[in-house]
Structure 1
Amino acid sequence: MNDPALLTIGVTLLACLLGVTGLRLYADGAAQRAALVARLSDTGTPHTTGRRRRFRTLDRRLRRTRFGRRLELRISATGLDLTPGEFVAAMTAAVAALWAIGQALLSPFFGPLCGLLGIWAALGFLGWQRQKRIEKFINQLPELSRILANATQAGLALRMALSMAADEMEAPAGDELEKVAQQLAVGTSLDDALGELAERLPSRELVVLVTTLVLANKAGGTVVSSLRNLTETLEERKETRREVRTQLSQVSMTAYAVPVIGIGSLLLIDNMQPGALDRMTGSGLGQFAVVIAFALYVVGFAVIRRFSKIDV
């Protein structure tokens, strides 16, 4: 122990060992933190494909804005494997393409109108995907309620019942319940986790189920009988919604057919009399008439869609 060389070598080896151990612990912690952030920070769809994300800079800037956060929430409800940056980039490219096509096929005045049509179509696509996923989730609610009732009757806690339902059910219910289970695993309260679920996929049926689960978790009581009664009610509402949707399918098709007929008439006129649209939009009165016509088509589409929506 009195040899300075041996003492120096021993201290050096000990420092190297501690350094390597510290670096390994740091790397493991960083990897776990990165995995947790990737799983919880994206309220959008889980990135299970492992593909390389594009437009990361645009995505980061969008997430700092209110519009970006709202867009991220809408994308998360659709189940699409997209980031806000990727969606905005794709929408910008589609708007530019429609702008150029409108100017080339119709007239320069129709370029901006076609660009606005591209924005409306992109946002409408998100809304359609979201509604489609909500409908599919609603159809799974009776089965979800049945699984929760059986699990709680077997003695499992509500948190464990939700985790078991997430493993057994298919998408979208399985994916959404997996998010709820992950939030519960990191300390989020059951009320907040289920509240975010109801916010992502808003529907009367889900609100009733969430309210039943929250009240049962707070006050206790006969949660099994409540869930079984709710299962029967959800089954009846499922059949009623299917009948109503079948009866109103023709009205829904009419809402989409009206603007298509209008745009088709413009193309037909320009084909029969080349240059007619240029002459029509060459004056202020013609441009005003075109804008009013497009506005009336939009109002007609919205009114017909409103008539076809019946709250069940």
Structure 2
Amino acid sequence: MWGVHAWRGGRADRAALVERLAGESGGGAARQAAFAGLDRRVRRYPWGKRLAGRLAATGTNLTPGQFTAAAIGLVTAAWVAAAAVLAPFFGPIAALLAGWTAFSFLEWRRRVRNERFIAQLPDLARVLANATQAGLALRTAVSMAAEELDAPAGEELKQVADAMAVGHSVEDALGELQQRLPSRELIVLVSTLVLSSRAGGSVVESLRNLTVTLEERKETRREIRTQMSQVTITAYAVPVIGLGSLLLLNRIMPGSLSAMTGSGIGRICVLISLGLYVVGFALIRRMSRIDV
């Protein structure tokens, strides 16, 4: 685990250096221009617009065209690799799995960003309470919080402040934030701010109490995540064991997978076993999901 952590840290440092150098030399713009045509074509379709929204929620710099090209390349590579290593029958299955993995990556990035934003909500409520107590308006308090907080809270609040600066109401700007990062904690915070902007009055005491509540919820979520980590790892270990058994079987008896999938009964048995692995993965993930 230490080696994986060090390797990921090195890759992150290298990516940051490459991005900085590319920004200085204009390589980033050239890379964007290379996918500009594909990006325009993808955005014409409804699914491309939805994909753009999902990419925006993840906080990545990927465009819909870049993600589409990467997903197509991943699906093609998985098909070819599975057909060459295992058997031609496993090519389409690996392609479907690769496509699911690509979109699961987006969901994972969105969930990670959402969790980071939720972890920053107590600090956000504290900054807003201090600014409101000092006599600042809510718009000014949001702009101040956008400058003081790190990403992703700072980036999201900057969008809220920019929306209010061009004439959007507090309710509309915060509603867009709630749609981008849905969570119960954010719903409570947005409701408190919207009600205070409508009815007037002091919102300092409400934000103070909300800060304490958000801190307690953050600790509770952290404890639950720690206790359910073994179940989560088990959900991913079960399919890996199944794939490893296929590779081991083909290694011990070369050509056995091709012979097994050469008949109709063999294909049916393989599909049933894969379906059972999928059901097991879904059930384990569902049992480990606890709403707080």
Task: Say yes or no: TM over 0.5.
Answer: yes
Considering only CA atoms, is the larger Rg found in Structure 1 or Structure 2? Answer: 1
Unaligned runs of 5+ in 1: 1-48
Q: Describe the superposition over 1:79-123 as per-residue Cα deviations: whole angstroms up to 9, x where unpaired.
A: 111111100100100110111000100011111111111101111
CA distance in structure 1 between the partners assigned to 2:198 and 2:278 by the alignment: 47
Q: Does 1:140 align with 2:138?
A: no
Q: In the alignment, which residue of structure 2 is the partner of 1:93?
A: 73
CA distance in structure 2 between the partners assigned to 1:308 and 1:169 by the alignment: 32
CA distance in structure 1 between the partners assigned to 2:281 and 2:91 by the alignment: 21
Q: Describe the superposition over 1:286-312 as per-residue Cα deviations: whole angstroms up to 9, x where unpaired.
A: 112212221221111111111111011
What's the CA shift for 1:176?
A: 0.6
* 1:35-54 superposed matches below 5 A: 51-52=28-29, 53=32, 54=34
Tell me the secondary structure at the aligned position of residue 289 of structure 2.
Answer: coil
Q: In the alignment, which residue of structure 2 is the partner of 1:150?
A: 130
CA distance in structure 2 between the partners assigned to 1:282 and 1:82 by the alignment: 41
CA distance in structure 2 between the partners assigned to 1:104 and 1:179 by the alignment: 48
Q: In the alignment, which residue of structure 2 is the partner of 1:106?
A: 86
Q: In the alignment, which residue of structure 2 is the partner of 1:177?
A: 157
Q: In the alignment, which residue of structure 1 is the partner of 2:40?
A: 60
CA distance in structure 2 between the partners assigned to 1:222 and 1:306 by the alignment: 42
CA distance in structure 2 between the partners assigned to 1:210 and 1:87 by the alignment: 32
How many residues were matched structurally?
Answer: 265
What's the CA shift for 1:61?
A: 2.1
CA distance in structure 2 between the partners assigned to 1:143 and 1:59 by the alignment: 37
Q: In the alignment, which residue of structure 1 is the partner of 2:270?
A: 290
Q: In terms of mean alpha carbon deviation, does 290-299 or 169-178 score higher? A: 290-299
What's the CA shift for 1:222?
A: 2.5
1:233 is aligned, of 213, 216, 221, to 213
CA distance in structure 2 between the partners assigned to 1:240 and 1:252 by the alignment: 18
Q: In the alignment, which residue of structure 1 is the partner of 2:58?
A: 78
Q: In the alignment, which residue of structure 2 is the partner of 1:310?
A: 290
Q: In the alignment, which residue of structure 2 is the partner of 1:69?
A: 49
Unaligned runs of 5+ in 2: 1-22
CA distance in structure 1 between the partners assigned to 2:53 and 2:278 by the alignment: 26
CA distance in structure 1 between the partners assigned to 2:244 and 2:210 by the alignment: 48
What's the CA shift for 1:217?
A: 0.9
Task: Look up the equivalent residue of 1:140 and give its one-letter code.
Answer: Q
Q: In the alignment, which residue of structure 2 is the partner of 1:44?
A: none
Q: In the alignment, which residue of structure 1 is the partner of 2:195?
A: 215
| TM-score normalised over the length of structure 2 | 0.88
CA distance in structure 1 between the partners assigned to 2:73 and 2:257 by the alignment: 25
CA distance in structure 2 between the partners assigned to 1:242 and 1:165 by the alignment: 24
Tell me the secondary structure at the aligned position of residue 309 of structure 1.
Answer: coil
Q: In the alignment, which residue of structure 2 is the partner of 1:260?
A: 240
1:271 is aligned, of 235, 245, 251, to 251
What's the CA shift for 1:221?
A: 2.4
Task: Look up the equivalent residue of 2:118 and give its one-letter code.
Answer: I
Tell me the secondary structure at the aligned position of residue 163 of structure 1.
Answer: helix
Q: Does 1:200 align with 2:180?
A: yes
Tell me the secondary structure at the aligned position of residue 217 of structure 1.
Answer: helix
What's the CA shift for 1:259?
A: 0.4
CA distance in structure 2 between the partners assigned to 1:79 and 1:235 by the alignment: 24
Tell me the secondary structure at the aligned position of residue 88 of structure 2.
Answer: coil
Q: In the alignment, which residue of structure 2 is the partner of 1:4?
A: none
| TM-score normalised over the length of structure 1 | 0.83
Tell me the secondary structure at the aligned position of residue 155 of structure 1.
Answer: coil
| Alignment root-mean-square deviation, CA | 1.3
